[in-house]
Amino acid sequence: MRIAVLGGGPSGEHEVSLASAASVREGLEAAGHTVLAVEITRDGQWLHDAIELQLTPAGGLLDCDVVFPALHGPYGEDGVVQGVLEALAVPYVGSGVASSALCIDKVLSKQLLSTAGIPQVAHLALARASFDLDRAAALAALARLGSPVFVKPARMGSSVGISKVGEGGLELLGALESAFEHDDLVIIEASAPGIEVECSVLGERPPRASQPGEIVLHSDFYDYAAKYEPGGMELVVPARLAPGALAAVRRLAVSVFKLCGCADLARVDFFVDGDEVLVNELNTMPGFTPTSVYAKLWEAEGIPYPELVDRLCRLALARNEHRRAGAAASGARPATG
């Protein structure tokens, strides 16, 4: 196949995305494909061989069969680039516009999971306007979550703008102000006991979950540095859980993937304490760097990296053909994605 791999983007995860894209390109080339690199600059230009691309509706992208958008955070995981690729009428790896927008919004996605009875970490959402209007009331409500808490921008990606806060109002105020610099909606999560566990989902028919992996941290919490810097954490596969908890993690990972309308891939994160399994969040385009968990979990299942990225591209093409066939049967405009 002829495959375009997108990297970069205007989010705070630009550099990580470039690293993910480089790994994806290497894997696809090892699988025998023709791969074209497309870098999206911090100001939103699309470049191939240092030349700006002119994007034309329904015009495809560099005559490629499929696009792998190895983009993280806003613009890459929130439905924006997915909408562009839909307009270009080119098949692409990963979730579509609606599910991408839903999953990057931690408040909306947790509300959806709550309606389905999915067990989650206790949390509260706080809008900047409400916080500015009555800070005392907001802090009183947050106090019910106990201590420590984790303060996060609601619509950012991998650990950007996140703070762990112990007791103390001034520390919490500083964490909220820091999160509000990234987003005018913030989510505050209670501390969960137990261990952090991650599970990769492959969107086959039916979707299937990998063996869960246990995150062993060498820092206070799973922040940006722990996630992406060498030595920041250790991955233990399978996670050291009781058989019932292992099964529950895999079952819930697939349930959340399907409930959120995801496609091709996702990583679902959990906290597990004995037999209690709590969903933390879902990532529609997890990292693909050499230290990233998603591919390592499938490698432990016997799927090497080149085969994995090849399989993801083939899943995207098969899904696109299925949608085109359905559209043709109904007389509607063929869809992509």
Instruction: Answer for the pair 270, 197: CB distance below 8 angstroms, yes or no.
Output: yes
Annotated catalytic residue: which of 99, 283, 292, 320? Answer: 283
Torsion of CA 319, 321, 326, 330, to 10 degrees: 140
Residues 139-163 have pLDDT tens digits of: 899 989 998 999 999 988 656 678 8
Closest CA to 273 of 245, 252, 250: 245
How many other CB atoms sit within 10 Å of the CB of residue 89?
Answer: 18
Check residue 85 and give its pLDDT: 97
Residues 237-283 have pLDDT tens digits of: 999 999 999 999 999 999 999 999 999 999 999 999 999 999 999 99
Closest CA to 195 of 296, 278, 293, 283: 278
Domains of the chain from N-terminus onward: 2-94+306-330 (3.40.50.20), 102-119+192-303 (3.30.470.20), 123-190 (3.30.1490.20)
Check residue 231 and give its pLDDT: 60
Give the Cα separation of 300 and 304 in Å (integer): 8
Please confirm, yes or no, whether 269 is among the known catalytic residues. yes
Give the Cα separation of 272 and 277 in Å (integer): 5
Give the Cα separation of 161 and 175 in Å (integer): 9
Please confirm, yes or no, whether 63 is among the known catalytic residues. no
Please confirm, yes or no, whether 321 is among the known catalytic residues. no
Please confirm, yes or no, whether 189 is among the known catalytic residues. no
Bond from prior residue into 148 cis (ω within 30 degrees of 0): yes
Please confirm, yes or no, whether 287 is among the known catalytic residues. yes
- 0.85 exceeded by pTM: yes
How does the average pLDDT of the chain come out, rounded?
91
Closest CA to 337 of 104, 108, 119, 88: 88
Give the Cα separation of 160 and 126 in Å (integer): 17
Please confirm, yes or no, whether 25 is among the known catalytic residues. no
- List of long-range contacts for 124-127, beta carbons under 8 Å, 24+ apart: 124/187, 124/188, 125/154, 125/185, 125/186, 125/187, 125/188, 126/176, 126/185, 126/186, 126/187, 126/188, 127/184, 127/185, 127/186
Terminal Cα-to-Cα distance of the chain (whole angstroms)? 17
Annotated catalytic residue: which of 287, 292, 319, 337? Answer: 287
φ and ψ of 26, to 5 deg = -60, -40
Please confirm, yes or no, whether 320 is among the known catalytic residues. no
Q: Which residue(s) pair with 209 in the sheet?
A: 201
Rounded percentage of the chain residues whose pLDDT exceeds 90: 77
Please confirm, yes or no, whether 267 is among the known catalytic residues. yes
Give the Cα separation of 221 and 93 in Å (integer): 31
**Binning pLDDT at 50, 70 and 90, where does residue 67 land?**
very high
Residues 275-319 have pLDDT tens digits of: 999 999 999 999 998 779 999 999 999 999 999 999 999 999 999
Annotated catalytic residue: which of 189, 196, 223, 281? Answer: 281
